[in-house]
Structure formats: structure tokens, C-alpha cells
Amino acid sequence: MRQTPLKLANRPSDNAPASTACQTSGFNLLRFQLSSDKIRSVSRPAITSDPASPDRAEPRYQLETVARACRVLRVFSNDEELLSLADIVARTGIEKTIAFRIVRTLEQQSFLRKVRGRRYSTNVHLLGSRRFRIGYAGQTSDSPFATAVEESLRRAAARSQVDLVVFDNHYSEKIALRCARQLIAERVDLAIEFQTHQKISPLISSMFQAAQIPMISVDIPHPGAIFYGVDNYSVGLAAGRALVKWCRNHWQGQADELLLLELEIAGSLPYLRMSGVEAAVRQAIPAIKAVRMETRGEFARTLVGVRNRLRSTRAAKTLIAGVNDPCVFGALRAFEESGRLESCAAIGLGAIPEARSELRRPGRRLIGSIAFFPERYGGELIQLALDILQKRNVPPAVFAKHELLTRENVDSFYPSDSVLSDAYDKIR
């Protein structure tokens, strides 16, 4: 059968302008403008895209479920971080039931692994387009505790693909200020400050704020910075209650004097440690005499101070608590030199390796030490820093966990400790 060609009414001539052709043909859906080298549609906006943008593809080509799964994988900063379903929901904003199904699917496909009950860890290492530079100004290289913090930070930074810029404050106000200026000059993305002198903390904070560098302060609060460290008053209460328990078991609940070894330069927050100790002891022994001694947290300074104190005091039974382990060792050495070691009992704060070694020795007068676990600081500080840099919600203060270590439980927390020599000689 012969087909009749389709005829269009009012067909324009071939040499008519393009705009006239569209009008005369009756097709008004699109209007075209003719240029010398291209035809541009004026009814459809031009698509511009940054090649580096994760949203460079048109939405119609994206699978929402896959995009959500990628968001779940990105919330893990490294393969050692453990997150619960609630953590994943909070970080991604994905609805809980959907997040649960995604997590279970990723687990079944071996992208995630389930560990420690209901927590998950990633098997995927994502390569970021840019490595963060985090600056760290440490307290001092002469402190076992501060050294452990720095070592844990270096390990955590390496795991998380973070560049760590490290300076040493050397326990000095002047050097701490110089280190802050150097970190700013290094153009770090975030600064972690571990410096002891509270009176310069506002100045250091203002320097980083002016440079628009967010800051985390370790142990000593700085205005405007996120605080990371122990809950000092709770730590003090735990230490005081341990002293009271020991006193009841060995001295029928009676003691003459409570010697509190302080660190005044650190300001009011570390002062709360000794306030907590005093509150707990006074509740059980109301008539005890409390003696506060400034030690700067140092072994040698405490040794001299307690030597002088022992020349005049008549206290037969003395309970001792210090702001850290080294100053407690200084006090114990002074009692030992004077032949009065059996008239005291002490508790430290920090549970540094020398303190753990001392706890294992029978017949010693260090009855316990509150562990702050500095070897865990690094992982928690780097994760906190990444949360800040990635604009996640973070609280104004993050408290490190603490635990009372005694001769009975020290091996369960630190089973791989090597045998150390005399703690007193080590700490000097």
C-alpha cells in the first residue's frame, strides 16, 4: 500500500529564521535562539558542577540507598573506632530503622564488623581528599603522664591519616606562648593545648581565636576551648573514699592529719581534686586536720616541703593525697627518710607506670592511684578534633574515664606492665 506523507500546515520555508520557524509551526514549548556556534535553550537552566563536588552527578543518576551507605562508612574515622547504632544515627542524621538496615547490610557484605556487643567497626579505609593538620603543644617531656599522652596522640594521628605538628611547652609560661604562636604560623587546622599555667590561658585562647583556629584544652580549661580531661571533683572523691576505706581497715577509722599536695599554678579546676579528697575524708573523720602544701606537682619540691613539715608536726597518723603521682612519691620518700613510713598512707592520681610498679610491691604505703589512662587520650582527642573539623556537634567538655587502681586490680588493667625498678629512683 502506498503511504501518503504527513503534511504539516503552514510549513515555513527552509530559509526562514529559526525563531520564526518555531512560531509559525505552532510549537511553543521551547524557544531557541540561534548564535554563530551553538543553540542554547532558554527554558532550561544551564548545569554547572564542580568536578570535585560529591554531588556533581545529576540526582536522577544517584541511588539514595548507596549514598546513605557511603555516609555511614564516612562516620568512622579509622578502623579502631567503635560506634553504636545510636552513634551512627546521630552522626549521619539517617532515620534509625533505615540506618539499622544499612548497617546490617554493610556488616553482611563485610564492609563493617560487629564487635563488643552492639558496636561496629569499619573494614574500609577511605582516602580523604585533604589531610588535616592538627597542632599539639604538650605539657612537658619530663613527665611520664605527658609523655604517654603525646605517644598516644602520635599513634592515633597516624591511624587517622592526620598530620600532627608537635611542640613542647616545657612547663613554662613563656615557652607555651611561643609554641602557640608557632602553631598559628604553621597554619594548623586545629590546636590541642596541654599547658599548666591557668593565668596565661585567656591569652593563648585569644591568639587562636584571632587566627580562627579551633582549640581543645587538655586538663586545664581555656576560655572558648573544648575541654578534655578528667572530672576533677569526682576523681578527688574517689581518692578520698579509698583513703577512708583503708583507714577503717588499718587504723580503726582514725587519723590525725590529711596532707594535700597541690598545684596552684594550674588554677581552680585541678584544685577541685584536693577539695574532693578533703570532702570525702572529712565526712568520715570530721576532726581531722587538713594541711595544704604547694608542690607544683614535682617530686623534688614535695620532698623538701614534707621534710620540713615532719620536723614540726606531731601527727601520729597522716593520710596523704596529691595532685599527681610524682608529688605523692616525694612525700613518701620524706616519710621513709625520717623513719616514719608506717605512720602514713597515700593515694596518687594518674597511675603512671612507676605508681603501678609501687602498687605491686608488698608492704608499701601507696594504697592506690586513680588511673586516667593517658594511653587512651590520643584516640579520643583525635576523634574529638575530627568531629570539630567536620562540623559535628560536640559538647563543651569531654571527660576522660578514671578508675581506682590498687594492688588487687592493677594487673587486670595493665597485665603487660614490665617489672620496673624502684619507683622513687625512677621518678626523680
Just give the CATH number of 63-122: 1.10.10.10
162 touches 107 (CB < 8 A): no
How high is the pLDDT of residue 129?
55
Which tens digit of pLDDT belongs to each residue from 202-241? 999 999 999 999 999 998 889 999 999 999 999 999 999 9
Given this model, what pLDDT does residue 337 score? 93
Instruction: Tell me the average pLDDT across 141-146.
Output: 86
Q: How many CB atoms lie within 10 A of CB 12?
A: 15
Angle at 281 between CA 146 and CA 233, to 5 degrees: 40
Place 346 in a pLDDT band, splitting at 50, 70 and 90.
very high
Rounded to an integer, the average pLDDT of 63-79 is 85
Torsion of CA 13, 17, 19, 22, to 10 degrees: 10
More confident residue, 118 or 9: 118
Per-residue pLDDT tens for 119-141? 888 888 766 556 899 999 999 88
Q: Which of 46-60, 150-164, 252-266 has the lowest mean pLDDT?
A: 46-60
Quick one: 232-350 is in which CATH superfamily?
A: Response regulator (3.40.50.2300)
> Alpha-carbon distance 392 to 390, whole Å?
6
Mean pLDDT for all residues in the chain: 82
Bridge partner residues of 259 (DSSP): 291, 320
Q: How many CA atoms lie within 13 A of 100 on its CB side?
A: 5
Can you give the pLDDT at residue 200? 93
**Is residue 399 over pLDDT 70?**
yes
Within 10 A of 197 (CB to CB), how many other CB atoms are there?
19
pLDDT one-digit tens code per residue, 152-185: 999 999 888 889 999 999 989 999 999 999 999 9
Q: How confident is the model at residue 348 (pLDDT cuts 50, 70, 90)?
A: very high
Mean pLDDT (whole number) for 317-323: 94
Considering the chain, tell me which residue range(s) the CATH 1.10.10.10 domain(s) occupy: 63-122
pLDDT at 18 over 60: no
Of 74-83, 125-134, 354-363, 394-403, least confident by mean pLDDT is 125-134
Enter the C-alpha cell of residue 103.
548497617
Strand order across the beta sheet in which 190-193 lies:
163-168, 133-138, 190-193, 215-218, 226-229, 397-399
Tens-digit pLDDT profile for residues 270-285: 788 899 999 999 999 9
pLDDT of res. 58: 58
pLDDT of residue 35: 38
Q: CATH 3.40.50.2300 region(s) of the chain?
A: 133-229, 232-350
Provide the pLDDT for residue 130. 67
pLDDT value of position 271: 83
Q: Which residue, among 288, 291, 285, 281, has the nearest Cα to 243 in the 3D structure?
A: 281
37: confidence class by pLDDT, cuts 50, 70, 90 = very low
pLDDT at 420 over 80: no
Assign a CATH topology to domain 133-229: Rossmann fold (3.40.50)
Cα Rg for the chain, rounded, in angstroms? 33
- Is the pLDDT at 61 greater than 70? The verdict is yes
Contacts of 222 (CB under 8 A, 6+ apart): 193, 201, 202, 204, 205, 215
Each residue's pLDDT tens digit, 286-315: 999 999 999 988 899 999 999 999 998 888
Q: Is the pLDDT of residue 30 over 80?
A: no
